[in-house]
Amino acid sequence: MTFHAERLTFASHGGDRRETLFRESAFERVERWALAFAWATSPKRVAGLPGLIRMIAREALAPDYALPDPERALASPPGLAGIAHDLSLPKLMGAYARGLYPLSHAGPMKWWSPPRRSVLFFDEFHMSNNLRRLMRQGRYSVTFDRDFEAVIKACAGKRAGRWHLTWITPRIMRAYAEAFDAGHAHCFEVWNKDGELVAGGYGLGTGAAFSFESQFAHEANASKVGMSVLNWHLDHWGYRFNDGKLIGPLWASVGFREIPRGEFLDRLAEAVRLPGKTGRWQMEADLATISQWQPAAVH
């Protein structure tokens, strides 16, 4: 009852701000579509276009609102499982419980289930000595769930030296904000000494599985500080793994590794039956304590 009241109060006061933040100008929309077209027709991805077009055409003729089977995802483009007509909270949570997630740079929203999944098991998490020293220097503080709107908006923002191609559209922002209000989506914020938000990230909890969505950083290594805090708490709270979806250099550097889809779905099925931590999260250790974490020694 208390949490329900807190949720309603937060949502009612945050609505106007979200309408302002979760907005895309006409220029930004055109830019996103143009870059999405260039991305989809690049040499590495153009082979997946026929499969994508066939799926979109089938859905246009006979829309299917049921969640697709993640194990029947297409081989080309790899992991495309279906069209996401509905991003309501029940549908979103049901999708994650089945190993699906929504993503689309432009056009209809799609459900994905890649053939190999990037996963962090917490006993394999790696913190460099330089990162440990940084966490003890007092340059940053970290919070949970203080400013979800600012974090997801920053995750969708432009990155230096990269094309501004994002899947975090206003529709995605609204869907995960609803999950945040319900206590299922969470974020971390990293603040510098001047009280500025310099890094952050967000994700979604389903039982004892956590799926990390995106992160941003305006100062070097600040996001790694936040990720260390996040993973320490996930391990401390009994989560089984952190799902990073697709592997990348940053993920690999901190201990994420790829596992086959079948193994991931088996592990997920076990994790979602276990209790997670819903509602607003709070820090349960300071950075100096977390900097001493030796994951492999704990398990």
Instruction: List C-alpha distances in Å: 218 to 67, 127, 154, 177.
Output: 37, 20, 10, 22
Residue 32: what pLDDT? 85
Among 188, 102, 199, CA closest to 148 = 188
- Residues 215, 104, single domain; the answer is no
Range of the structural domain that residue 71 is part of: 2-113
Q: What is the pLDDT of residues 173-226, one digit of tens each?
A: 999 999 999 999 999 999 999 999 999 999 999 999 999 999 999 999 999 999
- Residues 30, 132, single domain; the answer is no
- Residues 93, 8, single domain; the answer is yes
Q: What is the pLDDT of residues 118-158, one digit of tens each?
A: 999 999 999 999 999 999 999 999 999 999 999 999 999 87
- Taking phi over 0 as left and psi of -120 to 50 as alpha, with beta for the rest, 161 belongs to left
In the predicted structure, residue 296 carries a pLDDT above the cut 70: yes
Question: What residues are paired with 199 via a beta bridge?
Answer: 190, 217
- Residues 41, 175, single domain; the answer is no
Domain end marker among 66, 94, 113: 113
Domain harbouring 232, CATH code:
3.40.630.70
Residue 27: what pLDDT? 85
Residue 23: what pLDDT? 80
Domain end marker among 79, 95, 113: 113
Among 109, 108, 75, 76, CA closest to 92 = 109
- Residues 19, 64, single domain; the answer is yes
Residue 15: what pLDDT? 66
- Residues 107, 127, single domain; the answer is no
For the record, the structure tokens of 146 come out as 């203080």
Q: How many domains does the chain have?
A: 2
When pLDDT is averaged across residues 73-90 and rounded to a whole number, the result is 96
Instruction: List C-alpha distances in Å: 247 to 109, 118, 119, 271.
Output: 21, 5, 8, 21
In the predicted structure, residue 48 carries a pLDDT above the cut 60: yes
- Residues 292, 146, single domain; the answer is yes
CB 175 within 8 A of CB 18: no
